């Protein structure tokens, strides 16, 4: 756990991205924060040390990252983990057997798998609901419910949850409100302003932005909750190594400018696809045709580069993902390079088929993570991949 300083929170987001948590190092004055590649620290005597004892508990490079992301989200404490899944797993360790979680039905497949296949064996129970509908969320709450967990926009259907409405429900029932802000990032969406208690990220995606590390981050605003999470982070030990933290920090410096370009490219490509007769549907909250466009405009300041298209069949989806030359067929998202994926067989293969199809996640669905290349080149690539 690392608490931000007043200086970390002193400036606007683009400035925080570059400076928060990263004072020049006192030894040599290195402007770029050093990688503290060590597992342990010399102690001056019994119980006397410089605040560092063992690197599972704390590491300066990790602390710099924790402060940076906490400052970007407008939180006070950050916790870095070895992956987004490690972050979700660790925060759910706040719960005890018998507790119940209301979770969005269209969360990342790995989150669904963790809850449904592993944590449910340990006495936690889960209800998966359509978080587009606040009434359905409220109906799912039971006296045992402790957590309301959601993504918005969702992966890959690009559905939105009304954060303000979710925050009100969580408050009314005394639930911890957890928001996965991986897709929108703090640049475009501010869950703490809607009473989220915990914001979680896969730093693997936009925060790092260069597809060269795997990591997760949890941010909170409340001291007592931070203490409980710090205990879990140290006791369970799913922490990242210092080099991965440093890579994430380096990526974060350009977060604001990258997100602007992802957003500009995303809007152009979505508009182009929306006018194309070769696809059956497009899911992008920045389009006026998206059923929740008004909500998107209200709670997001940009729409980013994530979108999904319905090609109509597995065969067509297969042709598109195999024909692209610039888009890369790969798991993951949020890198500077454009990626294309087939959720039914890749990111969401772990979600039962009936549940996938009920939410429109068909075999014909293709997900795009639009990068920051020249948009004309990306459009030309999709044009040739869609074929005649
Ligand atoms: C929205 C979202 N949350 C969490 C995760 C899990 O993160 P990681 O792959 O870093 O474990 C992912 C992974 O794709 C994701 O897309």
The CA–CA distances, whole Å, from 2 to 63, 73, 92, 172, 230 equal 6, 14, 19, 30, 9
Q: What is the pLDDT of residues 112-168, one digit of tens each?
A: 999 999 999 999 999 999 999 999 999 999 999 999 999 999 989 999 999 999 999
Minimal-distance CA residue to ligand 1 atom 6: 84
Which residues in the chain land under pLDDT 70? Answer: none
Q: How far is the CA of 85 from the centre of ligand 1 (A)?
A: 6
Whether ligand 1 lies within 6 angstroms of the CB of 149 is answered as no
Q: Ligand 1: which of 110, 208, 333 to mutate, judged by most atoms within 8 Å of the beta carbon?
A: 110
Q: In what order do the strands lie in the sheet with 176-180?
A: 2-3, 77-81, 216-220, 198-202, 176-180, 145-151, 100-104, 125-129
Distinct helix (H) and strand (E) counts, the chain: 14, 13
Q: Can you tell me which atom of ligand 1 is nearest the CA of 203? A: 10
180 is catalytic: yes
pLDDT of residue 1: 77
* pLDDT tens for each residue of 158-179: 999 999 999 999 999 999 999 9
Residue closest by Cα to atom 9 of ligand 1? 84
Ligand 1 site, residue 216, Cβ cutoff 6 A? yes
Tell me the β-bridge partners of 180.
151, 200
Tell me the helix, strand and coil percentages in the chain, rounded to 5: 40, 15, 45
How far, in Å, from the CA of 203 to the mean position of ligand 1?
A: 8
What residue's CA is closest to ligand 1, atom 10? 84
CB 69 within 8 A of CB 20: no
Find the catalytic residue in 205, 221, 316, 356: 205
Alpha-carbon gap, residue 148 to 114, rounded angstroms: 16
Residue nearest to atom 15 of ligand 1 (CA): 108
Known catalytic residue at 108: yes
User: CA 66, CA 1: separation in Å to the nearest integer?
Assistant: 7
Q: Are 213 and 250 in contact (CB under 8 A)?
A: no
Per annotation, catalytic residue among 16, 89, 108, 363: 108
Per-residue model confidence (pLDDT) at position 221: 98
Which residues are CB-contacts of 252 (< 8 A; sequence separation ≥ 6)? 17, 65, 68, 69, 72, 207, 208, 209
- Ligand 1 nearest-atom number relative to CA 347: 14
For residue 355, the model assigns a pLDDT of 86
pLDDT score for 347: 86
pLDDT of residue 117: 96
Q: Which two tokens stand for residue 384?
A: 């040739």
pLDDT, position 350: 83
Choice from 84, 156, 334 to test ligand 1 binding pocket (greatest atom count within 8 A of CB)? 84
Hey, what are 131's tokens?
């978080």
Cα 270 to middle of ligand 1, angstroms: 23
Task: Tell me, using a 6 A CB cutoff, whether residue 110 lines ligand 1.
Answer: yes
- According to the model, what pLDDT value does residue 388 have? 79
Q: In angstroms, how far is the first alpha carbon of the chain from the final one?
A: 54
Say if residues 33 and 67 touch (Cβ distance below 8 Å). no
| Ligand 1 contact, 155 CB (< 6 A) | yes
Segment 37-46, tens digit of pLDDT = 999 999 999 9
């Amino acid at each position: 756990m690392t608490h931000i300083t007043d200086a970390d929170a002193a400036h606007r987001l683009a400035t925080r991205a570059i400076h928060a948590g990263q004072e020049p190092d006192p030894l040599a004055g290195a402007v770029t924060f050093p990688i503290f590649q060590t597992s342990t620290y010399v102690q001056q005597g019994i119980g006397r040390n410089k605040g560092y004892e063992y690197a599972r508990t704390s590491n300066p490079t990790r602390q710099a990252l924790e402060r940076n992301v906490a400052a970007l989200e407008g939180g006070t404490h950050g916790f870095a983990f070895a992956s987004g899944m490690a972050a979700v797993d660790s925060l759910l360790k706040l719960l005890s057997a018998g507790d119940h979680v209301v979770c969005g039905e269209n969360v990342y497949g790995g989150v669904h798998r963790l809850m449904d296949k592993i944590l449910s064996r340990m006495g936690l129970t889960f209800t998966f609901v359509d978080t587009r509908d606040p009434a359905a969320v409220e109906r799912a709450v039971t006296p045992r419910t402790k957590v309301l967990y959601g993504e918005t926009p969702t992966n890959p259907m690009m559905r939105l949850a009304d954060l303000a409405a979710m925050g009100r429900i969580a408050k009314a029932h005394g639930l911890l409100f957890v928001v996965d802000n991986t897709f929108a990032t703090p640049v475009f969406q501010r869950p703490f302003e809607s009473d989220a208690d915990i914001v979680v990220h896969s730093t693997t995606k936009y925060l790092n932005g260069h597809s060269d590390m795997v990591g997760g981050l949890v941010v909170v605003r409340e001291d007592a909750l931070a203490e409980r999470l710090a205990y879990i982070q140290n006791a369970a030990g799913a922490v990242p190594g210092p080099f991965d933290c440093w890579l994430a920090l380096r990526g974060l410096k350009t977060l604001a400018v990258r997100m602007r370009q992802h957003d500009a490219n995303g809007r152009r490509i979505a508009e182009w696809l929306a006018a194309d007769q070769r696809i059956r549907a497009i899911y992008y909250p920045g389009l006026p045709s998206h059923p929740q466009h008004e909500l998107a405009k209200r709670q997001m300041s940009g729409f980013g580069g994530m979108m999904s298209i319905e090609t109509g069949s597995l065969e067509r989806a297969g042709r598109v993902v195999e024909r692209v030359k610039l888009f890369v067929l790969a798991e993951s998202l949020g890198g500077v390079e454009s990626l294309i994926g087939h959720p039914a067989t890749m990111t969401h293969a772990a979600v039962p088929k009936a549940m996938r199809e009920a939410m429109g996640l068909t075999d014909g669905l293709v997900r795009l993570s639009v990068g920051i290349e020249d948009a004309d080149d990306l459009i030309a690539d999709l044009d040739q991949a869609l074929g005649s």
